[in-house]
Amino acid sequence: MTAAPATPMMTQYLALKAEAADCLLFYRMGDFFELFFEDAKQAAQILDIALTSRGEHLGVPIPMCGVPVHSAEGYLARLIKAGCRVAIAEQVETPEEAKKRGGSKALVARDIVRFVTAGTLTEEALLEPRRANVLAAVCDVRGTIGIAACDISTGRMELEECAPDRLGAALARLGASETVAPEGLEGVPPDTIPRSPRDFSSDGGEARLKAVHGVSTLDGFGDFTRAMLAAAGGLIAYLDHVGRGKLPLLLPPVARSGDAALAMDEATRASLEILTTAQGTRRGSLVEAVDRCVTGAGARQLADDLSAPLTDAAAIQARLALVEWLHDDPLLRADLRAVLRALPDLGRALGRIVAGRGSPRDLGQLRDGLSEARRIHDYLVQRTERPALLDALLPSLTGHGALTDLYARALVPAPPTERGQGGFIAEGYDAALDELRRVSGDARRAIAMLEAKYRDQTGIAALKIRHNGVLGYFIEVPAKHGDALMAPDSGFTHRQTMAGAVRFNALALHEEASRIAEAGGHALAAEEAHFEELIAAAVAARHAIAATAAALARIDVAAGQAERAAEGGWCKPVISDGLGLDITGGRHPVVEAALAAKGERFIANDCRLAQHDRLWLVGGPNMGGKSTFLRQNALIVLLAQAGGFVPAEAARIGLVDRLFSRVGASDNLARGRSTFMVEMVETAAILAQATERSFVILDEVGRGTSTYDGLALAWAVVEAVHGINRCRCLFATHYHELARLAESCEALSLHHVRAREWKGELVLLHEVSEGPADRSYGLAVAKLAGVPAPVVARAKSVLDRLEKGRAETGGLAAGLGDLPLFAAAAAAPEEPADPVRERLRDLDVDALSPREALDVLYALKRAADSD
C-alpha cells in the first residue's frame, strides 16, 4: 500500500524546515506557532506542554505542539535558555491575497523572517537587564586569531586579535552568549556554531563594514588588522543570515588593544568569581557585591569594567576622579541617582528600533530618556570644578532637542507596546488623523443612537447591536423575538440564527459600520505612516542616541561606585607606576557582605609587597582565612584598575599587567584532566606568562600528589616565581619546610594566619601575622568539621609516630617512602600496644549508658590488675 503524498501545507513546512536546518521551526498558523515532528517532541519536553498529532505523513501520525503568538516570547526565552535556536516562519500574505493569487484553496505563503538565537536577542522579555548579551565571531588568519564581538541589543562592537593560546582568555572575558567560527577551527568552545569559511574574508569584512556604516574608508574608526576584519566579516554575515537581510544596530567598531586591559586567563576569572560564582549564579559574585547601579545599562557597563580592568594609569585616574567627586557630595549623588533610576533603557530601545522590532513604547522611551538626559546635563553643568571625565561626557547628553520635541508632539504620554491597534499618535499632531478619529467616534455614537431607535421601533428592549471579527456589526435579539423581524417589510435582513438568539443587519447600520471601518482603516494607515517616520528619525540619529546611552551608563557606574564606597567605608586607591602593593586594612567584598548579613564582622588585614619583600609565604590552618586573604588582595587590584574605590583603609597599587589566581582546583574530566593535572596546567601557565609587573596568588601548590613530590614541586615553583618571574606573589602553603627558602630568597618573607587552641578547641583568628606558622592545626580543623572522635584520635596517634621519626632522622617523614601521607602512616612500624590505653582511646564516653560505663570500668580494672 502506497502512502498518501504530502499535503501542500506539509510540503511547505518541510521546505521551510530544510531551510531552518538545526533550528526549531515556529510555523505560523493563525494565532499559533506550531511545531511538528522531532521539533514538537523536543519543544514539548522543554516547555512542558501537550504533545498531540495532526494528520499523517508517509502513513505515520505527525507529532505536533504549539504556543500562542501573543505569548510566544516567554516560550522563546525558555527554549533559548535550554540551548535551542528557533526559526520564525510567518505568514507573508493575507488569506485574501492568497485567494487572489491561487484561488479559494490557495495556501497562504510563509517564509522564515528571522532566526532567534542566544546571541541575537533584542526583545526586552528575552534579555537580562543587567547583563550584556554578546555575540562573538572568531577566525584564524595566518596564525593570528581575529575576534569580533557585539551586543546587538545596544549596537556596541569591538574588534581585537590575539595569539591562538590566548583565545580562551579572550572569550572568557567576553562571556559571549553565542560564538560563530569557520568550520574546522580548533580551540573554540564546543558549542560554537560553524559557518562557511568564505564568510571570514578580510576583504569581505572590510567591504561589509564600509557598507553598514556608509563610508568609503574605515580610517576614521581605527586601525584594524586583517584578522580583525575577517572576524568582522564573519560576524556581519551571520547577523545578515539570522535577520534575513535585516541587520541590527551596529555602531562603529572599536579596536581593542591586547595590552589595554588587565589580562586574566579562564582559571583566574573562575577562581575570583568576578561575574558569576562557581555555581553559575550572579548571587555571591564580585559584581553582585559591588553593583549599586540604578539602571540596567549602568550594571552592564560595570560588569564590562570588572571583566576588563584598565592598565592605563591616566584612564584609571579619570574614572577614580569622577567617583571621588560624587562620593564627596552625598546630596548631589542622591539627586543624580534619583533621576537615573527613572530612566528607560535607551540603548536597548534604540537597538530594537534599528533592528525593525521597535514599538511605539520604544519611541516613548527614547523621548523620555533623551529628555531626562538633557535634564541631567543642565543639573551637572551648573557645578564648578567638575572632573575631566564628566566634562567629556556632558556634551553627549544634549543635542536631541529636535527629536524630543518631535516625539513630544507626536506620541501620547504612554504609548502602547503593540502598534497594530493604533492609538499612539497624540491628538493635535495630524489634523487629518484627528478628523478620521472624529468620524469614527461620531459613527460609534450614531450606532448607539441606532440601537435605541431600533428598540423603540420594534418594542424589543433586549435588542442589542454587537460586533465581532467575522460579521462586523450586527443586530441581535433573543430567539423568541426573531420572527418579528423576519417579515420582508421589517427593514431588517436575517444573517444568522443561533441557539438562543437571531442576528440581523439593517441598511442604516451597514452605512454606519462602513463609515467606522473606512475611517478606522484610514486612521490605522495614517498612524502606521507616522510610526515609520518617527522610526526613521531615530535611525538617523542612532549614533548620537547611542553616545547618550553610553554616557548615562558611565555616570551611573561612577555614582554606583561612589554609593558602594560610602556604604562600606571603601577608600580611593592610589595608582602608581611602581612595583609595590601596599594595602592597609584590606577586606574581601563578598565575604564581608556575607558576614554582615549574619551580623558578624570581617577581620581586615594588611598586605605590603615591595621589591625587597615581593613574595609572601603564608602558612596556617585550613579555614583560617588564607584563601580569603589571597583572593581579597587580587580583587582589590582588580577593583582599583577598573576605576573604583576598594574595600580597605588605604591602598597604593603599582599597575598590574596580568593577574593570576590559582586557588582551589577541580576535575576537568571532559578534557581528560584530574584535579592535580588542572592544578599543574594552571601553574605552568603562570610560570610561562607572569612578568615582574604581574600579581600572582597561589594556594597549596603540590598538595594533589605524594608528600615528597608535592613539596619538591612547591619548592621549585617558589624559587621560579622569586628568581625568574620576579612578580608580586602571595603563596599559601602547609609545607613548613618551605620556610627554609627565606634563607636563600632575599625577597621572600614568612607570614601566617593566626590560630590558637583554647580548652581543647581551635580558635581561628583570621589575622595575618609575620613569621612562619608553628603548625597546621589539621587535626583540630578535622575535629571542628565533625570528623568522628575515634578517627581524629587515630590520626593523632599516627601523627605522633610520624613526627617522632622525623625528629630522629632529621628528614621529612624519613623511611616512609614516596607515598601519600596517610598511606605511609598506615605502613609505619607498630609499637607494643597498651591494651588499657587502646581501650580508653577507642571509647565513646558520650554513647555509654550508666550500666555500660560501670561494666567498662570493671573490665579496665581487671585488665590493669592482670598486667
427-440 pLDDT, tens per residue?
A: 999 999 998 888 87
More confident residue, 423 or 827: 423
Nearest Cα neighbor of 40 from 22, 52, 31, 23 is: 52
846-865 pLDDT, tens per residue?
A: 677 777 777 778 777 777 77
Confidence (pLDDT) at 203: 96
Residue 298 identity: G
Cell of 9: 501545507
- DSSP label at residue 282: S
Q: How many whole angstroms separate alpha carbon 829 and alpha carbon 589?
A: 49
Confidence (pLDDT) at 815: 34
Q: How many whole angstroms separate alpha carbon 76 and alpha carbon 117?
A: 10
Query: Among all chains, which residue has been given the C-alpha cell 517616520?
Result: 533
pLDDT of 814 strictly over 50: no
Strand partners, 763: 756
How are beta strands 86-91 and 110-116 bridged, if at all? antiparallel
Query: Among all chains, which residue has been given the C-alpha cell 428592549?
Result: 461
Residue positions forming the annotated binding site: 620-627
Label residue 813 by pLDDT band (50, 70, 90): very low
Confidence (pLDDT) at 514: 82
CB 279 within 8 A of CB 548: no
Q: Which of the residue ranges 9-18, 36-45, 257-266, 572-581 would you say has the lowest mean pLDDT? A: 257-266
Label residue 816 by pLDDT band (50, 70, 90): very low
CB 701 within 8 A of CB 662: yes
Cell of 782: 578535622
- DSSP label at residue 159: E
Label residue 781 by pLDDT band (50, 70, 90): low
Which of 480-484, 638-642, 771-775 is the most confident on average?
638-642
Q: Which of the residue ranges 447-451, 483-487, 589-593, 674-678 would you say has the lowest mean pLDDT? A: 674-678
Q: How many whole angstroms separate alpha carbon 245 and alpha carbon 255?
A: 26
| H-only helix segments in 64-140 | 72-81, 95-102
Please give the mean pLDDT across all residues of the chain.
88
Query: How many residues are present in the chain?
Result: 867
pLDDT of 411 strictly over 90: yes
Q: Which of the residue ranges 453-457, 591-595, 709-713 would you say has the lowest mean pLDDT? A: 709-713
pLDDT of 825 strictly over 60: no
Sign of CA dihedral 219, 224, 225, 230: negative
Residue 695 identity: F
More confident residue, 210 or 823: 210
Rounded to an integer, the average pLDDT of 486-511 is: 89
Q: What is the Cβ-side half-sphere exposure of residue 486, based on CA atoms within 13 angstroms?
A: 9
Rounded to an integer, the average pLDDT of 365-376 is: 97
Residue positions forming the annotated binding site for ATP: 620-627
Confidence (pLDDT) at 237: 97
pLDDT of 3 strictly over 60: no
Q: Which of the residue ranges 64-78, 314-328, 542-556, 797-811 would you say has the lowest mean pLDDT? A: 797-811
Query: What domains does the chain contain, in order, with CATH numbers?
Result: 8-116 (3.40.1170.10), 129-258 (3.30.420.110), 291-400+541-567 (1.10.1420.10), 431-516 (1.10.1420.10), 570-783 (3.40.50.300), 788-829 (no CATH), 832-867 (no CATH)
Query: Among all chains, which residue has been given the C-alpha cell 517564509?
Result: 111
Confidence (pLDDT) at 292: 98
Query: Among all chains, which residue has been given the C-alpha cell 577562581?
Result: 271
User: How many percent of the chain have pLDDT more than 90?
Assistant: 65
715-763 pLDDT, tens per residue?
A: 999 999 999 999 999 999 888 888 899 989 999 999 988 877 666 565 6
* Phi-psi sector, 700: left (phi>0), alpha (psi -120 to 50), beta: left
Confidence (pLDDT) at 811: 54
CB 485 within 8 A of CB 492: yes
Q: How many whole angstroms separate alpha carbon 395 and alpha carbon 411?
A: 26
pLDDT of 831 strictly over 60: no
Confidence (pLDDT) at 174: 94
> Based on C-alpha coordinates, what's the Rg of the chain?
36
71-114 pLDDT, tens per residue?
A: 899 999 999 999 999 999 999 888 888 888 888 788 999 999 99
Residue 189 identity: P
As to burial, measured by CB atoms within 10 angstroms (0-12 exposed, 13-18 middle, 19+ buried), residue 61 is exposed
Phi then psi dihedrals of residue 400, to 5 deg: -110, 20
Q: Which residues, including other chains, have CB under 8 Å from residue 765's CB and lie 6 or more apart?
A: 603, 624, 753, 754, 755, 756
pLDDT of 667 strictly over 80: no
pLDDT of 645 strictly over 90: yes
Core vs surface per residue 151-171: b (16+ CB within 10 A) or e: bbbbbbbbbbbbeeebbbbbb
pLDDT of 20 strictly over 50: yes
Terminal alpha carbon distance of the chain = 98
Confidence (pLDDT) at 610: 93
Cell of 186: 580548533
Q: Which residues, including other chains, have CB under 8 Å from residue 190's CB and lie 6 or more apart?
A: none
The continuous run of DSSP H or E covering 610 comes out as none
Rounded to an integer, the average pLDDT of 811-823 is: 38
Confidence (pLDDT) at 827: 43
Task: Provide the whole-model pTM.
Answer: 0.85
Confidence (pLDDT) at 826: 40
